[in-house]
Amino acid sequence: MNYKYNFGGIFSQVGISFKIESSIIKKIWYTMEDNIPLSEFFKGKYPNYTLSFLYSTKKDCSFQVSLPSISKRYKQIEFVIYMPYKELNIKDEDLKNKIFLKYLKSGIIEIFENYKFDTNKLKEIFESVSG
């Protein structure tokens, strides 16, 4: 199956990472797959490409979204959403999930706006997941 979207975590600094329940990621991912079409602008620029969202952190990083990494071979556009490690390095799992979802949503909205996606459905999806 060809997915429109893909999610994953990537951590390049030893000992600097955080764990999020896969069920949270899967719920967002599959709900986006079913309910958010790729924008006409994106499809026109990158026909048959998958849009990948990677989440990451570094010791002294703040929130930021990387420039896209484009693979013509794999037909994939990848963005890394960097999240502040200090905010995610906590034991309270519920609070960590809320912080993670806040930054993930902000990053995806930033990417969507650059490619002329309608962000309203995305906001609804994150509201339903974060409760």
9 closest CA partner among 114, 104, 128:
104
pLDDT one-digit tens code per residue, 62-74: 999 999 999 999 9
pLDDT confidence of residue 75:
96
Contact present, 27 and 5 (Cβ < 8 Å) = no
- Please give the pLDDT value at position 2: 77
Q: Is 69 helix (H, G, I), strand (E, B) or coil?
A: strand
Over range 50-61, report the average pLDDT: 92
Res. 28 pLDDT band, cuts 50 70 90 = very high
83: buried, middle or exposed (CB in 10 Å: 19+, 13-18, 0-12)? buried
pLDDT tens by residue, 76-129: 999 999 999 889 888 998 999 999 999 999 999 999 999 999 999 999 999 998
Q: What number of CA atoms fall less than 13 Å from residue 33's CA on the CB side?
A: 15
What's the predicted TM-score (pTM) here? 0.93
Q: Tokens 């010791």 belong to which residue?
A: 59
For residue 79, which of 105, 52, 104 has the smallest C-alpha distance?
Answer: 52
Q: What is the average per-residue pLDDT within 35-62?
A: 94
Q: Is the separation of the CB atoms in 65 and 82 below 8 Å?
A: yes
Q: How many domains does the chain have?
A: 1
Q: How confident is the model at residue 16 (pLDDT cuts 50, 70, 90)?
A: confident
pLDDT band at 131 (very low <50, low <70, confident <90, very high): low
Domain span including residue 80: 5-130
Is the CB of residue 55 less than 8 Å from the CB of residue 24? no
